[in-house]
Amino acid sequence: MATSTNGNNKRRDVALSSLAPRKINVQKFSEARAAELESLHSIVSDRLNKDFRSKRNKRRRTNSYNNQPAKRRYIKRQNSESLLCRRLASRGGDHHETTITRRVKRRMELKGNPVSGFSASGDGTKRLRTHVWHAKRFTMTKLWGFHLPLGLHGRGRGSRDVLKQSRQGVLVHDASYIIAVQLEGPEVALLSVLNMLLEPSPSSHSKEVFDSILTGRSYENAMLYNVNPPVSQAISPVIYMWRPSELPKRSDEEEDGDCIGTDGAFSNGDHVEFRKLWVWIHASSFSEGYASLQLACQKQMNETGVSVNCVSLEGQLAKFEIFGPKASHLLQKTLYPATSSSEEPSILRKCSMENAEVKVVTDLYKEETISSCAILAQFVMDPRLIPNSPRDDSTVSVETAKTEPTNSLEITTRTDPETFTEVFKCLWDANSDLTPPEEENVLCWEKHQNRMDSLCLENPAAEVPKVSSRERSSRSCPLLLLKHKKLGNAPTGWSLILPLSWIKVFWNAFLSKGAHAIGQREKRWVSCDAGLPFFPSDFPDCKAYSTFTLSEAADMEEKAQRRPPAIRPFRIPFPPPWNIIHATRSIGESSNQNLTSNETNGTEISSSGGNLFDGIVARTSDSLTTLLQTFTSDNLLLFPHDASKPSADAVKKTLQEDETKVRAEIHPNSNKLCLVRVLLDAFKEGSFEEGAVVCAPSLADISLLKSSCSEGEDGRVTIPQSSVSSYFQEQPSGTWELDVTEDTLTKQSHRWPIGFVTTGFVRGSKKQKAEAFCDAVLLGRLRDEQWRDKDVKRRKKEIYVLVRNLRSCAFRLALATIVLEQQESSSDVYCF
């Protein structure tokens, strides 16, 4: 009985709702309810004593809403923008200049989303596509021709929160200032160019790794060098990746999935005739690196007659960096495949939005299923079409992405499987016109129409939104996913390569799903916490390091000059005077003095040369092995990782060693320094700052600092307070010299420098480490001295050194770990 009653009620409700009028005539409604309205009016008038005037204390600008300053400015801005649009449209026929304010022009430029190119300020400095978002929240700075976010507002603190996010959440960084250079030509010619400039070269890898790189299944890190003789100088660390292709499969290989956007046909069974590859170069070294690549291509053309094209892709491609334990989860929530096919999904190709196949897609971003340096090609939906709430019907957004819009809007949705390969090929074509995303007002209008239709409401006043004059737009985006190399404590990370016009869309999507944006300063904190170098701060052999540190030194000097002379700090050498290490090298090579001797000659020891850094940095095991072979008479105790294991190809190893020797120009009488990167751990106490000097300790210093428990002067190794400001003397030419006076106390407390700290401790790090560069020869001699007369079991791989901050008088004992001895790979060219 109850069931029948409920059924009758439902049918009656449906009948009433169907009979309800869609529109109400206010005049007829008031006439029909006149008696009720008069009764209500009489009740209200009795309560107000028939005084309907607004009380003065309750008035809130009720009569001035039409004259608000903000509304007047908005109307003026809208009129200016519309006037500017009309002027631009009729520029050919009307030459009348219309006065438009700079603020309106800048606002229109920042709101726009052109297919390629960066907007620029008045002085030519380029802005990122995320400039407006960063400028509202970060301190902006001009670096390398870009307006870049330096960090959050304040005094540069907040490292604890950033490191916590890197260990528990996900961080995102806009790395669009890293620019790609595309090389086109025969495969043999491209390999010759890379072997000429990169270290480690592609040919130095094992056959398995080499085939993976050459077929486009993985990318590789390397150090880019200058091709100019006689000595090649390091330019910057780069990432190079080949356009996907298929090599002839061996019998022991499994069948792999088809790649997207492969190169042309094979000329024979060994290599592809025409190939393409990308070389990603940091903005601080882009002009130098691009010139070096062009020179190498021209040299290849002169020697072999084979042409290799070198094209810059600046302003066409963008790069995101996402790292953290929840990076894979963020990609799962944001990247939805834009194709729907009944075929089986492939990792590099087609995926579906059906519920049965979504699990296969999410498994792609797990660490267990993807190797390091892998490249995944995806064709994903516009993230603005993905429902934010899991309760929403996902089929609505999917159908919206697949449905062809009206002809009046002239929009193409390229999600058809037949055009999938064609669209992805445009990402590798430097001359292609990448399709920009759909405009925001169009998507908002469609969502509004869908919402009105779902509520069964009509909106006769709704009009088709205005769109720009561009011919087409898309609701799906091709992108490349690059898995970061897992090194040490580095957080799990991905790099996204996508068209520049899509960067705003994915940036807002990542932030709305829990990502934490960081700038240059926060990125350096994360890299130091992971024990990885940061470019250009930790690459003293590059020209970008000198330029960057000199600009920082000028800023520090300007800030110091603003302070009163009474509290102004004394000047310290920055960037560090690397050439002063030559003095320690000469002392160690002399026969009458030892490296750890406290005796000095009482004269000023000047650095040779006028450059900030005159030497090389050994970043591969091969270069360090060559150094050991050069100084065999000194019996250097350095152990590069896997240096004793023979290479698979002895010829390649011989060529690589010869190339390294020619590049480094190391010989016993050379004045060039050869530094290696080390990680410093404080033995008991101390906090190492950027620019701190690393010195050679004596055995007495080590035993004293290891056994001391008190805070008195007897348990410390210090220099006189008067010598702190005069330890380095600035010359009129601007160079710095090491000054050791004839004072007896100064002689006894003097310790010879062997290196400098480039990145200091970061607050909030669980295991604080500082990054420094020390002379390899001096480190080998220190290890020889510390291992002497010790059992094999008691010998440590770490080397005891002394570290002193430049404004402190106390030396702190530290353990120096040579990175090349601990690195799982044979190179130290990976950087954040």
Cβ proximity of 324 and 492 under 8 Å: yes
Report the distance separating Cα 222 and Cα 740, nearest Å. Answer: 41
Task: Categorise residue 559: left if φ over 0, alpha if ψ from -120 to 50, beta otherwise.
Answer: alpha
Note whether 220 and 213 are within 8 A (CB): yes
Predicted confidence at residue 610, as pLDDT, reads 40
Q: What is the pLDDT of residue 815?
A: 94
Task: Flag whether pLDDT at 89 surpasses 70.
Answer: no
Q: How confident is the model at residue 277 (pLDDT cuts 50, 70, 90)?
A: very high
**Tell me, what's the pLDDT at 409?**
30
Per-residue pLDDT tens digits for 467-479: 666 667 788 888 8
Q: How many Cα atoms are found within 13 Å in the side-chain-facing hemisphere of 605?
A: 21
pLDDT at 148 over 50: yes
pLDDT in tens, 430-451: 566 678 888 888 888 888 888 8
Q: Closest Cα partner for 377 from 330, 432, 425?
A: 425
Q: What is the mean pLDDT of residues 776-783?
A: 88
Q: What mean pLDDT do residues 779-792 have?
A: 86
Residue 66 has a pLDDT of 56
What is the pLDDT, as a whole number, of residue 829? 76
The predicted pLDDT at position 197 comes to 92
Give the residue with greater pLDDT, 724 vs 506.
506
Mean pLDDT, to the nearest integer, of 267-285?
76
Band (pLDDT 50/70/90 cuts) for residue 624 is: confident
pLDDT at position 178 over 70: yes
Average pLDDT over every residue of 83-88: 64
**What confidence tier does 670 reach under pLDDT thresholds 50, 70, 90?**
low
pLDDT band, very low/low/confident/very high, at 636 (cuts 50, 70, 90): low
Highest mean pLDDT (candidates 435-439, 681-685, 802-806): 802-806
Note the pLDDT of residue 595: 59
Most confident of 93-97, 121-125, 465-469, 637-641: 121-125
In this structure, of 125-129, 232-236, 463-467, 679-683, the range with the lowest mean pLDDT score is 463-467
User: How many CB atoms are located within 10 Å of the residue 450 CB?
Assistant: 13
User: Which residue has better confidence, 632 or 157?
Assistant: 157
Q: Is the pLDDT of residue 166 over 60?
A: yes
Confidence of residue 272 (pLDDT cuts 50, 70, 90): very low
Q: Residue 145: what pLDDT?
A: 92
- Is the pLDDT reported for residue 658 higher than 50? no
**280's tokens:** 């990603």
Distance CA 481, CA 496 (A): 5
Answer whether residue 785 shows pLDDT above 70: yes
Residue 777 has what pLDDT? 86
DSSP collapsed to 3 states, 330-388: HHHHHCCECCCCCCCCCCCCCCCCCHHHHHHHHHHHCCCCCCCCEEEEEEEECHHHCCC
Q: What does pLDDT average to over the chain?
A: 76
Rank 19-33, 574-588, 731-745 by mean pLDDT and report only the highest: 574-588
How confident is the model over 512-566, as pLDDT tens digits?
999 999 999 999 999 999 889 999 999 998 999 999 999 998 988 898 999 998 8
DSSP string, 618-629: --BHHHHHHHHH
What is the average per-residue pLDDT within 387-404? 44
Query: pLDDT at residue 620 above 80?
Result: yes
Residue 544 has a pLDDT of: 92
Q: Which of 599, 598, 657, 593 is nearest to 624 (CA)?
A: 657
Distance between CA atoms of residues 14 and 8, nearest Å: 10
Residue 507 has pLDDT above 70, yes or no: yes
Distance CA 59, CA 52 (A): 13
In this prediction, residue 366 carries a pLDDT of 64
- Helix 327-334 vs helix 503-512: crossing angle, to nearest 10: 120
pLDDT at 609 over 60: no
Lowest-confidence pick of 18-27, 112-121, 319-328? 18-27
- The string of DSSP codes covering 686-755 is --PPTTPEEEPPPHHHHHHHHH--S-SGGG-EE--GGGTTTSEEE-TTS-EEEE--S-HHHHHH---EEE
Q: Among the listed ranges 15-19, 379-383, 429-433, 466-470, which one has the minimum average pLDDT value? A: 15-19
Burial class of residue 147, CB neighbours in 10 A (0-12, 13-18, 19+): buried
Percent residues over pLDDT 70 in the chain: 68
Decide if pLDDT at 713 tops 70.
no
